[in-house]
Amino acid sequence: MSVAEAGVAFEVRGADNPTPLLFVPPLGRGRASWASQVAALEDSYRCVLFDPRGIGRSKDVACAGYSAATIADDARHVLDESGVEQAHVVGWSLGAAAAMLLALQHPGRVASLALLTPWARTDAHLARAFEMLRDLVVHASPESAEVATMWHILSREAVNAAGTHLLDGARSDVADPGYPAASTMVDYLDSGAELDVLDRLGDLAMPTLVVGGAEDRLVDTAHARATAAAIPGADLRVLTGPGATHALPVERADEVNALLRTFLTAHDTSVGAATT
């Protein structure tokens, strides 16, 4: 585990190819969110993972206000500290928002973008969802807020399979020393509710993959479609069926990993050299 200039904890794993993958985690989560993707891709790619400020090993890093913008800044610091000039950037949920901000602010640092369950402009429906989650964080117990969040992002099949273990898992999560404080979660939720970069996405010129889930109860696939339509040449994929939720990288990990590998292979000539 290393620490970037801003105090952000990060790690680098996998093959030593010239253009690594930078994984930007979803709202309230850290580098462990990407376990399935790293396991599938580290044979071909150097994988750079980090805990945003306020989360995990970066929980105690002071910040005036946590947001998608601060996550993007954390990502830049991690690239600097790890000596990476340019990376393929993979973002999920609020991490996708941060990935877009990083690409808009520092386009030369982003070789390609993969945006999983993204949105680029918060509409009234999504704003109400964030408001509801915010109220849960503020007024409910941490365990109850965690269970309610899981109910919104997981499939019916996953919730049914978990049964009472869903609460057990929530208790385990909130007991972790790196679990974000309620005030941190409120900041990140408010940032998600205020996101509006849709009109700026036409400035992006790097190859982009956008992946949505037809069963996403939190971020409707209309947002993935709008995001892809706004980015010149973006490749849109919408997964359907059980598990095609906001938790795509977990519930449909094999398909997400296959999409990522195909996309990255098409846009990274360094992989062949790294694996031959």
Domain containing 233 — which CATH number? 3.40.50.1820
Domain for residue 176, yes or no?
Answer: no
Record the pTM: 0.93
Domain with 24, as residue range(s), is 2-121+197-268
The answer as to whether 114 is a domain residue is yes
Residue 141 lies in a domain: no
For residue 104, what pLDDT is reported? 99
For the chain, what is the domain count? 1
Residue 183: inside a domain, yes or no? no
Q: What spatial distance separates the first Cα and last Cα of the chain, rounded to whole Å?
A: 28
For residue 267, give both structure tokens: 């846009």
Judged against a pLDDT cut of 80, whether residue 27 lies above it is answered with yes
Spatial contact of 237 and 208, defined as CB atoms under 8 Å apart: no
DSSP assignment of 189-241, as one string?
HHHHHT-B-GGGGGG--S-EEEEEETT-SSS-HHHHHHHHHHSTTPEEEEE-S
- Sign of the CA dihedral running 260, 262, 267, 269: positive
Establish if 188 belongs to a structural domain.
no
The neighbour count for residue 158, using CB atoms within 10 Å, is 18
Residue whose C-alpha is closest to residue 208's, from 141, 154, 134, 259:
259
Q: What is the mean pLDDT of residues 234-245?
A: 97
Structure tokens at 24: 């930007």
pLDDT more than 70, % of the chain: 95
Q: Is residue 172 part of a domain?
A: no
Give the contacts of 46 (CB within 8 A, at least 6 positions apart).
12, 13, 14, 15, 16, 17, 20, 21
User: Does some domain include residue 181?
Assistant: no
Split at pLDDT 50, 70, 90, the class of 2 is: low
- Res 55: pLDDT: 94
Would residue 132 count as lying in a domain?
no
* pLDDT at 39 exceeding the cut of 70: yes
